[in-house]
Structure 1
Amino acid sequence: MFEWLIHTLRKYPEIAVMLTLMLGYLIGKVHIKGFTLGTVTGVLLVGIFIGTYHIPIPDGSKAIFFLFFLFCTGYGIGPQFFQALKKDGMPIALFSFIVCVSSLILCWIISSILRFEIGTAAGFMSGANTCSAIIGVASNSIKDLNIPDFEKSKYLDQIPVAYAVTYIFGTAGTSWFLSVIGPWFMSGSRAKLIEETKQLEAKLAESATEEQGGPTNAYDKVAFRAYLLSRDIIGDGKTVTELEDSLKAKGRILWMLRVRREGRLLPVTPDLLLHAGDIVAAGGQRVSAIGADALLGKEVADVELLTFPVQDAMVYVTNKRMVGHHIRRLAAEPSFRGISVRKLTRAGIEIPLSPLTVLAKGDVLELVGIEQDLDRAIKLLGFKEKTGVETDIIYLAGGIVIGTLVGALSVKVGKVPLELSTSGGSLIAGLFFGWLRSARPTFGFIPPSSQWVLAKLGLHVFIAIVGLTSSEGFLTGLKQEGITLFLAGIVLSLSPMVLALFLSKYVFRFHPAVGLGACAGAHDESAPLLAVQDALNSKVPALGYTVAYAVANITLTTSGVIIVLLMSHGK
């Protein structure tokens, strides 16, 4: 039976790839006392194991999947990346760039001192920084070197060895360091930093008593309730606008959406005069609705009044008039009347939402309201994200073609030929086409689910094939470099994070919680961010993560080309 299976895998290598994906994902998702190996490492190790049975894999197949991964990665972070190059995001962008460059320089120094070969240095850089994209970019760069094929093969086999040995600490070690040592360094203790983070949250969520505010809390669900207006509150009568403004002055953002008067439903307009005895359907975030009876009147269960269609919409922020302004500005916009915000995501990361949250181009707001109100709000902010499943294949394939063609162009500096490589070109094309989609949303739609599948599947199929084709070299290299690589990986993982903490606290002077998020982003890994958020019991670190991650993703991926060139110089 076993011999038949191996024979079948050799005859149909596509089965071996799928088997590697399945088993690698299963192993990578296993949690042992909070620790997980990670799906990339799981797939790589399973691929190496199955590869010991000499499964032939067509060499060019992995490149196609890797291009999908790079393009979709760039597409997803494109708007945030270019936004980071503007004034508001520049400090965090510069911070992340410095940390990544320091890691590249340190990798080169350590590799030179320990006499690592080219492939080992590339895998070392990739694993210690948990940047899987370096594997593909460095592999392409090695293939372009003017060296014999047997040397290329040797270097390519070294990459997964160094990656697997250094990746585990690169993920788990930095997560521990930033969540345990980070709070102590930034504030003196975890408890003190938790208190400082709560103070920042309180500042962000301060009510609109100073200015007319917006949504007060991103994590409160939207609520719709009915109130019987009392004479003590309404007096001789107030218009809808006057009543809503009086609530805003007391820190409550509630919109009067429907009115029942003597059994009749009345159309609501801003200048409609409300009287005692009217029943109003008020909508807003739950935190504003709780206890609002003291400000409006007795809460009643008027089923008919509260039975009206509301919708939610995911809205892409592109309007230059709103980008760069606080969320609280929305409440002052007539077009936003009647709308509540459920949450805000930036580059796939949920951001704490408050009156002081600053809108960035490419943000996605989840809005809730009546259809006609939503239509006005969408025009104010940008455009409604499509909810279909159809990917613009022409845009996707065309972007990859353009990117790879540009990446294949070679420019000589002296006698040294330099090129972005097809992988680097695909990543940059993804950035540009992602930004172009946000600026011109009428074309180029790639649903988030499609982006996830193409990026995840692209990377993991690539890693599976790397493992299947590098098995023999992996085992040999592990015996030769194992302990040395592991210890060197600890140094390369933690040293840039020490520098990052120092820069965050003393040079850029970020808020400690935001700074820790930026440190996690500069490491190009979400695991440290989650660990920091868990340690502080707050999502505030995400405010520093997204821009740092976007810059780190590009810088570290590009470093795959640079480390190969540095290590090959003089060989």
Structure 2
Amino acid sequence: MNWLHHTFQEYPELAIFLTLAAGFYIGNIRVGKFSLGSVTGVLLMGVLVGQMNIAISANVKAVFFLLFLFAVGYSVGPQFFRGLKKDGLPQVLFAVLMCLVCLVAPWLLSLMMGYNVGQAAGLIAGSQTISAVMGVAADTINQVNISADQKQMLINSMPVCYAVSYIFGTAGSAWLLSSMAPLMLGGIDKVRAACKELEKTMGAGDPTQDPGMRSAFIQVTFRAYMIGPQSIATGKSVQQLEAELLQRDHRLFVERIRKTDKKIIEATPDYIIQRGDEIVLSGRREFILGEEQGIGAEIADVDLLNFPVENVMVFVTNKNVVGKTIRDLRTKEFMHGIPIQSIKRAGIFMPVYPDTILEKGDYMELVGYKKDMERAMAQIGYGDIPTDKTDMVFVGAGIVLGGLVGAMSMKVGGVPLSLSTSGGALIMGLVFGWLRAVHPTFGRIPEPALWVMNNVGLNTFIAVVGITAGPSFVAGFKEVGWSLFVVGIAATTLPLLVGVLMGKYIFKFHPALILGCTAGARTTTAALSAIQEEVQSKLPALGYTITYAVGNTLLIIWGVVIVLLMT
């Protein structure tokens, strides 16, 4: 054990990876629906490993923290700036007001309990589940004119309050918004009914609105059939057959044809289908299965079905598509043969209903024949072809520019203050994320790489925080006592309840939007999932993305503000 202890002290990088591995493991352990989550797991393991008095350079956590903050800004940038437009302003204002409550409630509770600056920052970070507050607050504390020992004492006190208040901050938020909030809106049955009613107005499940949009996630299939004498396709043109199928609420497309002379051709609208032809139909599985008897006998033909089909994420950028509904899009000629699988906005899957409105920066997943896909991509925006390469020129330049802007300081009451390099990286991430949405030909960060920047970046920072604070963690906990858990409950609950009441009485949002906006402003994705499961609808996601972008930005900046308020 002495050898192991000495090795970790000599090679602190090994201690970091030990903390990450063990932290992710215990963070993923579930008891019912509850789990600590990777961040809390890593922090607690960091505190445990830190008992070995391991010294780690502050530059390590700074590098990973900047990666994390830039990734956060990059992810929400399009929605952040989109929210500044007229139709998004109510949600932006809601998020700003709620974020102010998320700041004021922990601040007042900290004053009441006599907490120091570090403890107050930790309370905000944990109760509002925004771990990055600790990094930004630490950067700001380092600018305050106090001794180095005092700075380190304040910084080390943050993880204590964070760890204790984070538990209810995560689990409590999901419970409050999925169980208690619907009661404040008239009861779960009333909220579910309101969601179903809104879904109907948006065309969900109504084949008369748009026969091709019953579900966003049903698998598209390609199948081959032999045209017999009794087939409904015999003697009809491709265009006539597709129109007849559409009248039956079955949106199917003829993709390829093997003629009786065994020659395989691409389907054209005016081609007359003959007895003995073999055709390939594309569409959702249940529609094709419903037409098997009418079309003809299914055949397994490798040559006929062996053609390139693409599954592509398309960046919505074309001004002729932005602001249009899915119903409008489906009427366009360029969408022939192209089913819409899903729409992703700020990393959140949107409900795909006929009246769902497309926004700039949306990721639309399309599936189709290669020639059709190319035509559709050209009209919708930019095809985000899968790649494993990250534009590191873009990422590096963004972090450097953000850091330089954040390093600029101004004096407030004689104290030099700035956004700090971390705050600057966040702001520049927002700008660069918006630039990527406007000009998607550069600045690509593949989703797996973005996950690493977000999760490994944040958790490495948290690991170093936990290891550094480990020796003083127990003493810090004794100082604040178990009352901190109750204070954390209050700091979590008050903003959420205020958010629901604001949405209902001031903004008069739809119940689904109230729940989604409240979860978004508090940046709690786990709560959004719980809400959607409870109300049996995907609609709350419509209120999540803009408020999430605003909340993710303001709550992190509160790390600077809380230091100013407490000093």
TM-score of Structure 1 vs Structure 2, range by shorter chain: over 0.9
Counterpart residue type for residue 250 of structure 2: R
Change (3 A) 1:514 1:277: farther
State the alpha-carbon separation in 2 of the partners of residues 235 and 147 from structure 1.
84
Change (3 A) 1:195 1:506: same
- Does 175-184 or 2-11 show the bigger shift? 175-184
Aligned to 2:221: 223
Aligned to 2:494: 495
**Post-superposition shift, 1:469?**
0.9
Give the TM-score, by structure 1 length.
0.93
State the alpha-carbon separation in 1 of the partners of residues 513 and 245 from structure 2.
32
- Does 210-219 or 529-538 show the bigger shift? 210-219
Equivalent runs, 1:137-286 vs 2, <5 Å: 137-188=136-187, 190-206=188-204, 214-226=212-224, 238-262=236-260, 264=262, 265-274=264-273, 279-286=278-285
Q: Percent identity?
A: 43
Equivalent runs, 1:463-474 vs 2, <5 Å: 463-474=462-473
Counterpart residue type for residue 499 of structure 1: V
Aligned to 1:362: 361
Aligned to 1:129: 128
**Post-superposition shift, 1:235?**
9.1
Could you give the per-residue CA deviations for residues 86-117 of structure 1, whole angstroms, max 9, x where no partner exists?
23333222222211111112222222222221
State the alpha-carbon separation in 2 of the partners of residues 274 and 160 from structure 1.
71
**Post-superposition shift, 1:279?**
4.9
Change (3 A) 1:115 1:54: same
State the alpha-carbon separation in 2 of the partners of residues 453 and 363 from structure 1.
22
State the alpha-carbon separation in 2 of the partners of residues 249 and 96 from structure 1.
45
Give the TM-score, by structure 2 length.
0.93
Could you give the per-residue CA deviations for residues 385-419 of structure 1, whole angstroms, max 9, x where no partner exists?
13221212111111100000000111345645432
Change (3 A) 1:245 1:93: farther
State the alpha-carbon separation in 1 of the partners of residues 400 and 79 from structure 2.
23
Counterpart residue type for residue 433 of structure 1: F
Aligned to 2:335: 336
- 2:361, 2:438 within 8 Å by CA — same for their partners in 1? no
SS in 2 for 1:366: strand
Counterpart residue type for residue 495 of structure 1: L
Could you give the per-residue CA deviations for residues 95-145 of structure 1, whole angstroms, max 9, x where no partner exists?
222111111122222222222211111111110000011010111011011
Equivalent runs, 1:307-386 vs 2, <5 Å: 307-386=306-385
Aligned to 1:484: 483
State the alpha-carbon separation in 2 of the partners of residues 289 and 98 from structure 1.
50
State the alpha-carbon separation in 2 of the partners of residues 242 and 514 from structure 1.
42
State the alpha-carbon separation in 1 of the partners of residues 3 and 160 from structure 2.
29
**Post-superposition shift, 1:223?**
2.1
Aligned to 2:549: 550
- 1:128, 1:489 within 8 Å by CA — same for their partners in 2? yes
**Post-superposition shift, 1:20?**
1.0
Change (3 A) 1:113 1:208: closer
SS in 2 for 1:52: helix
Counterpart residue type for residue 219 of structure 2: K
- 1:213, 1:329 within 8 Å by CA — same for their partners in 2? no
SS in 1 for 2:318: coil
- 1:240, 1:270 within 8 Å by CA — same for their partners in 2? yes
Gaps of 5+ in 1: none
Aligned to 1:406: 405
- 1:214, 1:354 within 8 Å by CA — same for their partners in 2? no
State the alpha-carbon separation in 2 of the partners of residues 244 and 510 from structure 1.
41
**Post-superposition shift, 1:511?**
2.9
Gaps of 5+ in 2: none
Alignment RMSD, CA only?
A: 2.4
Equivalent runs, 1:374-453 vs 2, <5 Å: 374-413=373-412, 415-453=414-452
Aligned to 2:31: 32
Counterpart residue type for residue 244 of structure 1: E
Counterpart residue type for residue 262 of structure 1: T
Aligned to 1:517: 516
Change (3 A) 1:506 1:252: farther
- 1:217, 1:287 within 8 Å by CA — same for their partners in 2? no
- 2:226, 2:299 within 8 Å by CA — same for their partners in 1? no
- 1:341, 1:368 within 8 Å by CA — same for their partners in 2? yes
State the alpha-carbon separation in 1 of the partners of residues 55 and 251 from structure 2.
64
State the alpha-carbon separation in 1 of the partners of residues 273 and 92 from structure 2.
51
Change (3 A) 1:26 1:266: closer
State the alpha-carbon separation in 1 of the partners of residues 514 and 285 from structure 2.
31
Count of paired positions: 565
- 1:214, 1:327 within 8 Å by CA — same for their partners in 2? no
**Post-superposition shift, 1:233?**
8.5
State the alpha-carbon separation in 1 of the partners of residues 490 and 162 from structure 2.
14
Counterpart residue type for residue 558 of structure 1: I
**Post-superposition shift, 1:502?**
1.3
State the alpha-carbon separation in 2 of the partners of residues 9 and 267 from structure 1.
65
